[in-house]
Amino acid sequence: MNNDLLKAKVCKLYYQRGISKVDIGKKLRISRFKVADLLGQALKEGIVEIIINEPSHTFLDLENSLEEKFKIYRAAVVETSF
């Protein structure tokens, strides 16, 4: 099987059908580590995209930036009514 086709197949099984990496590995006769590697490659190469539909009025990007900048465990940004 072509490597890109294998990546696409692994992605469909994992993301669309919800099959575990271990079970995908068994089904395709590859290790779960190879499954994880293929998933990572597929994401990096644009074979698969992950889209997160955030609820409106969330500030997740700002929270992540604050956590990284100040090296804190968790930041919460909330909207006020001023």
Domain of 10: which CATH number?
A: 1.10.10
pLDDT in the model for residue 54 = 76
pLDDT in the model for residue 34 = 97
Is the domain of 63 the same as that of 33? no
Quote the domain boundaries for residue 34.
Answer: 3-45
pLDDT in the model for residue 2 = 87
Is the domain of 40 the same as that of 57? no
pLDDT in the model for residue 64 = 94
Is the domain of 34 the same as that of 67? no
Q: Which two tokens stand for residue 78?
A: 């909330």
Is the domain of 65 the same as that of 36? no
pLDDT in the model for residue 25 = 97
Domain count, the chain: 2
List, for residues 27-73, the tens digit of each pLDDT value.
Answer: 999 999 999 999 999 999 999 999 988 777 778 889 999 999 999 99
Is the domain of 40 the same as that of 56? no
Q: CA 52 to CA 49: how far, in whole Å?
A: 10
Q: Are 65 and 71 in contact (CB under 8 A)?
A: no
